[in-house]
């Protein structure tokens, strides 16, 4: 998911998506420990997507726009 796609979504949608992705990450980690996982880079990509979403939520909370400093 790109940052542009994330910025177009509402905060509540982003929070729901973060929760779903974190649950998926947990499942992937569990599967890695017990059996052979599919794509080993999937967890990294999901974690980065979560970080992007949380960054956009925090920017909105602070009233920032695309990383600009608040005055």
Domain ranges of the chain: 3-62
What architecture (CATH level 2) is domain 3-62?
A: Orthogonal Bundle (1.10)
- Kindly state the tokens that stand for 66: 């695309």
pLDDT for residue 44: 94
Q: Name the stretches of the chain with pLDDT < 50.
A: 69-71
The torsion defined by the Cα of 26, 27, 32 and 35, in degrees rounded to 10, comes to 160
pTM value is: 0.82
Q: Give the CA distances from residue 44 to residues 39, 40, 68, 69, in Å, rounded to whole numbers and listed in that order.
A: 10, 8, 27, 29
pLDDT for residue 37: 59
pLDDT for residue 68: 53
Q: What is the pLDDT of residues 46-62, one digit of tens each?
A: 999 999 999 999 999 99
């Amino acid at each position: 998911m790109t940052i542009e796609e994330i910025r177009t979504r509402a905060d509540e949608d982003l929070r729901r998506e973060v929760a779903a992705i974190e649950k998926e990450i947990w499942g992937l980690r569990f599967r890695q420990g017990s059996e052979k996982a599919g794509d080993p880079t999937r967890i990294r990509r999901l974690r980065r997507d979560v970080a992007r979403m949380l960054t956009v939520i925090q920017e909105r909370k602070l009233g920032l726009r695309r990383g600009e400093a608040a005055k």
